[in-house]
Amino acid sequence: MTASTAYFPDIHRFGRVLHGLIALFFVMTGGLFVAGEALAADSIGPFKDRLFAYREVLEASKDGSFRRIAYSSQRDIHARDAVPERRVKRRYVDLRVRRYQTDQTFETQGGAIDMAVVGRLDSQTRFAVIFIHGRGGDKRLGVDDWRFGGNFNRLKNLVHRAGGVYMAPSVPSFDATALDQVAELVLHVSDVMSGRPVVVACASMGGFVCAHLSRRSDTADRLGGLVLLGAAPDGQLPGSIAVRKKVPIYFAHGSDDSVYADRLQGQIFDRIKAADPAYPARLDLFDTGSHGTPIRMIDWRAVLNFML
């Protein structure tokens, strides 16, 4: 930092005091730039990390982009929940984030979208996370503090504490109109934030939305990342515009998923990495996990820091 003062010779004409003030100004502004870089390097701070950490990695690729994660329903559901699959134990949640949660409506060309929103969307918002539920779900799923081991509560807290906004829209169908509605939402959010990253997480049949966003040049330009949680496999993803633009992608799947086979999602991941071994893609396979396991088990802090 002090090296910056070497570029300023003594200003005899104005005296040492003025020289000191000028030097101090540049030191202080330089410090602000350094602080900004530090925030960018670790955008999402810790929140209940010990409780949500993976217990054991059974297998991993050399570069760490693929991992087989140990999962146990006895440990990760019955020992974690006060009421299995309905209500997590109290220590896993922090309900104070609810004061920043509102129900909102976003008007699109195809009609209105109802959303649950945590935080504020404005020009100062640092990033956005949009969660897309699967068939039969709605906005309530993405903000449920108690189900899925409290993982949505953790996500809300992580995003809000880091200066982001979290959105969980209701997508009543996954037809062309609905897909375009979500695309319009992504573009709007990005515009309000002046192009800052928008991470879209798609669960189960919600994967149709992520597939649609990946193929549009306008939305692919705005994406900070795609998160696929037990999502419908998209065989066209490796050749999509999003992949050509190196949008980070995180796959999470259960090895015993009876809805969408893990083998199919694994093949898509392999194709992306085979074409570009350095591509920012990761796959966590939860050993013996079922269709809903990725939503319960995903380490949101690690995933968002990987993308942001």
| Average pLDDT estimate for 269-275 | 98
- Mean predicted lDDT score pLDDT of the chain: 89
Which CATH number is associated with domain 46-307? Answer: 3.40.50.1820
Whether the pLDDT of residue 18 is over 50: the answer is: no
User: What are the tens digits of pLDDT across the range 100-153?
Assistant: 999 999 999 999 999 999 999 999 999 999 999 999 999 999 999 999 999 999
pLDDT at 42: 61
Confidence (pTM): 0.87
User: What are the tens digits of pLDDT across the range 208-231?
Assistant: 999 999 999 999 999 999 999 999
Q: How far apart are CA 190 and CA 209, in angstroms?
A: 17
pLDDT at 155: 98
Q: Within 10 A of 79 (CB to CB), how many other CB atoms are there?
A: 11
Q: What would the DSSP string read from start to end of 213-264? A: HHH-HHHHTTEEEEEEESPPP-TTGGGSHHHHTT--EEEEEETT-SSS-HHH
Task: Quote the percentage of the chain above a pLDDT of 70.
Answer: 86
What are the angstrom distances between the C-alpha of 299 and each of 30, 139, 158, 199, 201? 34, 21, 11, 15, 13
pLDDT at 8: 30
| Average pLDDT estimate for 34-53 | 70
- Return the higher-pLDDT residue of 42 and 279: 279
Whether the pLDDT of residue 76 is over 60: the answer is: yes
pLDDT at 43: 82
Whether the pLDDT of residue 20 is over 90: the answer is: no
User: What are the tens digits of pLDDT across the range 87-96?
Assistant: 999 999 999 9
Query: Which residue(s) pair with 129 in the sheet?
Result: 166, 199
Domain ranges for the chain: 2-39, 46-307
What are the angstrom distances between the C-alpha of 279 and each of 175, 270, 272? 30, 11, 7
Q: Give, in degrees to the nearest 5, the angle at Cα 176 between 245 and 111.
A: 110
